[in-house]
């Protein structure tokens, strides 16, 4: 009685470990590709395509109980090369897939108004910055 239960547990464990590696490139190739800005399938299972050279909107927003006047602006950025994403995976050709954290890194920084290059000057504007780089 214990042997079938143990074999079932081992089979479930192995199948769970196999799913941790993610979908195969063939599995991803069968998914619909949605260009950024177009409607996505209702089930949410699709590859999102960001084409090179196209304006991509990013909202920068400052808000909170500290402010009497919060603000936001829509920035327009462009990427240098096509990017395909599926869950945490990324591809630059739609065929070869890697974990996104292995291919792109970045940082976010905040400088308060009145500071410039680590020195207080009392007059420089603040800065909220995000930087993304290929690895």
Instruction: State pLDDT tens for residues 101-126.
Output: 999 999 999 999 999 988 999 999 99
Confidence at residue 74, expressed as pLDDT on a 0 to 100 scale: 98
Domain ranges of the chain: 22-134
Rounded Cα–Cα distance for residues 82 and 93 (Å): 7
Rounded Cα–Cα distance for residues 111 and 130 (Å): 12
Confidence at residue 5, expressed as pLDDT on a 0 to 100 scale: 47
Confidence at residue 20, expressed as pLDDT on a 0 to 100 scale: 58
User: Which residue stretches of the chain have pLDDT < 70?
Assistant: 1-20
Whole-angstrom CA distances from 58 to 33, 46, 74, 102 are 21, 21, 6, 23
SS (H, E, C) the chain: CHHHHHHHHHHHHHHHHHHHCCCCHHHHHCCCEEECCCCCCCCCCCEEEECCCCCEEEEEEECCCCCCCCEEEEEEECCCCCEEEECCEEECCCCCCEEHHHHEEEEEEEECCCEECCEECCCCCCEEEEEEEEC
Confidence at residue 22, expressed as pLDDT on a 0 to 100 scale: 82
Confidence at residue 7, expressed as pLDDT on a 0 to 100 scale: 47
| 113 alpha carbon, distance to own chain's centre | 29
Kindly give the pairing relationship between strand 83-86 and strand 71-77: unpaired
Confidence at residue 118, expressed as pLDDT on a 0 to 100 scale: 86
Q: For the chain, give the number of residues.
A: 135
Confidence at residue 2, expressed as pLDDT on a 0 to 100 scale: 52
């Amino acid at each position: 009685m214990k042997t079938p239960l143990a074999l079932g547990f081992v089979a479930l464990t192995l199948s769970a470990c196999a799913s941790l590696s993610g979908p195969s490139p063939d599995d991803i190739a069968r998914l619909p590709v949605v260009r950024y800005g177009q409607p996505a399938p209702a089930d949410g299972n699709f590859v999102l395509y960001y084409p090179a050279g196209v304006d991509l909107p990013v909202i920068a927003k400052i808000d909170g109980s500290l402010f009497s006047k919060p603000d936001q602006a829509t920035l327009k950025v462009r990427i240098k090369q096509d990017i395909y994403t599926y869950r945490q995976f990324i591809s630059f050709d739609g065929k070869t897939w890697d974990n996104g954290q292995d291919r792109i890194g970045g940082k976010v920084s905040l400088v308060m108004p009145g500071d410039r290059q680590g020195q207080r000057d009392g007059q420089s504007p603040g800065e909220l910055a995000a930087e993304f780089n290929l690895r």
